[in-house]
Amino acid sequence: MTFQQNVEKTPAGSWLKHWWFWVVAVILVAIVAYHLMGRPEKTAEGTGKKGANLAAQKIPVATTAAKKGDMPIYLTGLGSVTPLRTVTVKTRVDGELMRVNYKEGQIVKQGDLLVEIDPRPYQAQLTQAEGQIIRDQALLKNAKMDRERYRVLSEQDSIAKQQYDTQKSLVNQLEGTVKFDQGQIDNAKLQLIYARITAPVSGRIGLRLVDPGNIVHATDTTGLAVITQIEPITVIFTIPEDNLPELLDKLRARAHLPVDAFNREQTRKLSSGYLLTLDNQIDPNSGTVRLRAEFPNKDHMLFPSQFVNARLLLETKRGVTIVPTAAIQRSPQGPYVYLVKPDQTVAVRQVTLGPTEGDEAAIDQGLAPGDQVVVEGAERLREGSKVEVKTPGQNNGNNGNKVRKGKE
């Protein structure tokens, strides 16, 4: 074996045989490094152009103009419908319940006949009392005639004066008896009236508590029916004690404060009324005070013991700047809006919020009527961003998605 053959078989010899491959590899690495790192000025130039393109891109937004208007201030509270009067109808006489003259749930008027109790025992008592008074009136009449005769004889000294005095006393006794008989007649007539039970108040009568044929007594603890007055009707609701000073100022000025009653979800107004009065103390457990509002309730939309949301109109601020609540943004520095300037860029404008009602908010400071504010698309905006104004709810031209409302 020659020396050359020995060299080729060793590892070092194998490397020397393929030296050209490693030279080519080093040259390629150098070329790549030159293009990636040797031209930084061109890379920076490309990045700058890309940022400029992004900065020049217009962001689609929806805007609206701040307006001047009136903003109502409400006090709201959860309450329940409470009738002015709830009456349990009871019997004042004993007897068999003969007839029921109403339908359950019927609207009855004061004085309507509701039920009838067997009147025959009381009719018999009336007959007895009338017979007794006729008898006693006859005795009284005869005693008066005797008294007159005894008076004449006594003046003539024909009889003893004591006999005349006794006759006068008898007349007085019989007059008292006749008067007692008259009382018995009046009582019997009254029992007959009580046997016909009428509605003491106007309202809605509830379910029947006693069926015809039962014997009822004046001492029964359960009544015959329950009537609740529903025209008018009241709502008792609560407000926080912090609102009490403002409310008292209005009441001292004898203000007529309207109150609206809404359903539990506050999606439907049930009735409109006015504040009647307020309680004389604050509940220490809840820190609230109870108020009573009265409603005409002609359409019977308010039902006794129904839960409602009461909304009391405390006052109305006139001529304030109003914007949609969708335009209000929040930050640690406080509420702000994006104000659209004439050059189609936006500026961050800090504002002072007033009262809010529904989807509108009053702005005490920071805006003027006519200022254009962003109501949709605010989540993509920054100070100085260029915008393209679109109709609220219109799809933007980039991704076809609807512009979202800004967070309140």
Dump pLDDT digits (tens) for 79-120: 999 999 999 999 999 999 999 999 999 999 999 999 999 999
Write down which residue in 185, 210, 225 finishes a domain: 225
* DSSP strands (E only) in 241-335: 258-262, 269-283, 288-295, 307-324
Do 286 and 206 lie in one domain? The reply is: no
Do 296 and 173 lie in one domain? The reply is: no
Supply the CATH number for residue 336's domain.
Answer: 2.40.420.20
* pLDDT tens digits, 261-310: 999 888 899 999 999 999 999 999 999 999 999 999 999 999 999 999 99
Do the bridges between strand 387-390 and strand 59-65 make them parallel or antiparallel, or are there none, so unpaired? parallel
Do 263 and 362 lie in one domain? The reply is: no
Cα-trace Rg, the chain: 49
For residue 307, the model assigns a pLDDT of 95
Do 279 and 337 lie in one domain? The reply is: no
- Report the distance separating Cα 184 and Cα 107, nearest Å: 36
- Report the distance separating Cα 315 and Cα 247, nearest Å: 10
Is the bond leading into 40 cis (omega within 30 degrees of zero)? no
Amino acid at 211: D
Residue 10, domain member (yes or no): yes
Half-sphere exposure of 52 (CA within 13 A, CB side): 6
* pLDDT tens digits, 231-264: 999 999 999 999 999 899 888 888 889 999 999 8
For residue 43, the model assigns a pLDDT of 44
- Report the distance separating Cα 90 and Cα 293, nearest Å: 30
- Average pLDDT rounded to a whole number, residues 181-193: 95
Supply the CATH number for residue 189's domain.
Answer: 2.40.50.100
- pLDDT band with cut points at 50, 70 and 90 for residue 355: confident
Query: CA end-to-end span of the chain, whole Å?
Result: 92
Which residues make beta-bridge pairs with 72? 316
245's tokens? 């000073």
Do 99 and 216 lie in one domain? The reply is: yes
- Average pLDDT rounded to a whole number, residues 35-58: 50
Q: Are 261 and 273 in contact (CB under 8 A)?
A: yes
Q: Which of 15-19, 90-94, 313-317, 340-344 has the lowest mean pLDDT?
A: 15-19
Tally Cβ neighbours within 10 Å of residue 248: 11
Name the residue range of residue 49's domain: 3-54
280's tokens? 């004389």
Do 95 and 211 lie in one domain? The reply is: yes
Do 179 and 146 lie in one domain? The reply is: yes
The better pLDDT of the pair 49, 304 is held by: 304
Do 26 and 64 lie in one domain? The reply is: no
- Give the count of domains, the chain: 4
Smallest CA-to-CA distance from 310 within 383, 246, 237 is with 237
For residue 2, the model assigns a pLDDT of 45
Do 273 and 198 lie in one domain? The reply is: no
Do 181 and 136 lie in one domain? The reply is: yes
